[in-house]
Amino acid sequence: MVNSLSPSLRRIVVLGTGGTIAGRAASGGDNIGYTAGQVGVADLLGGIEAPEGLALAAEQVAQLDSKDMEPDVWLQLARRCAFWLAEADVAGVVITHGTDTLEETAFFLQAVLAPGKPVVLTCAMRPASSLSPDGPQNVRDAIAVAATPAARGVTVVCAGAIHSAFDVQKVHTYRQDAFASGDAGPVGYVEEGAVRRVRDWPESPARSKLIEAGEGAAMQWPRVEILTSHAGATGAIVDLLLQERAMGVVAEPVRGLVLAATGNGTVHHALEAAALRAQDAGVPVLRATRCASGRILPRPDDKLRDAGALTPVKARIALMLELIGTAA
């Protein structure tokens, strides 16, 4: 824990998890051949000044490439957020994170924390060793959002835009403005350190009991798989998963399925038939559109539930949390 604190100042706590923002390459001109998660979060704050009346504190929660993110790290991160947010002198939390699974972490945190203070995830598309890294400005902007009076909920700040955890998606493989919010659009923008909000902060009904339950104990995460509907799709994988489940040949049998559906939640007839067999066998199935924008509009004759505006990866998290709640 690194802390630059005066007793009279409120704090912004910056939690590090690794990612490109903490990455290093052998050459300053190499923006893709780097190793993620090499620079500590305290070093990422070097040269970044806290807003007036605030102090910065830093804590390293994890140090990984976000493509390798795991639910256990999500839970650890959520608990550290909950701890700091409960401190009266903490104005908000910033999390440095890799871009690949950032939208999943943001959605998980919003779902389980429902924070009344701001939790702001930020990232970079270029490593810290780059000739022109984008991480420092993103961190500055994220701190500005976390310091904003009345800000709340989980947001993602990248390239000057503030995205809601509900809507944010990574939409580009390389550009520095790699994130978008689909039809909803950004929550706002950071302009020279000032926040210009254009719609409401994200809100959730209540904090999950996951944060308090089983502190220190191993969490049994339900296995939820994502399958994509496409031309020529079959139900073979679904049937194999059901066979595994019936025979008890795997330690973690499938507990739920998310179908990355075409268009308005449509599913290839062969995959749909298999999904209905799974549903009949007691495996919940959720359809989420694979389209980058829009939401599934339900029909009265739908046989499989839909995830509305959630992307397949966020629908998977929602179903995992639903299954945990059912088992609790």
The catalytically annotated residue of 17, 20, 96, 99 is: 20
148 is catalytic: no
DSSP string covering 254-274: EEEEEEEEBTTTB--HHHHHH
Separation between Cα atoms, residue 108 and residue 22, nearest integer Å: 22
- Cβ–Cβ under 8 Å, residues 95 and 122: yes
- Cβ–Cβ under 8 Å, residues 117 and 10: no
CA dihedral 106, 108, 114, 115 (to 10 degrees): -40
Closest CA to 284 of 257, 317, 246: 257
Closest CA to 127 of 41, 19, 15, 46: 19
Separation between Cα atoms, residue 310 and residue 321, nearest integer Å: 14
- C-alpha radius of gyration, the chain, whole number: 21
* Catalytic residue list: 20
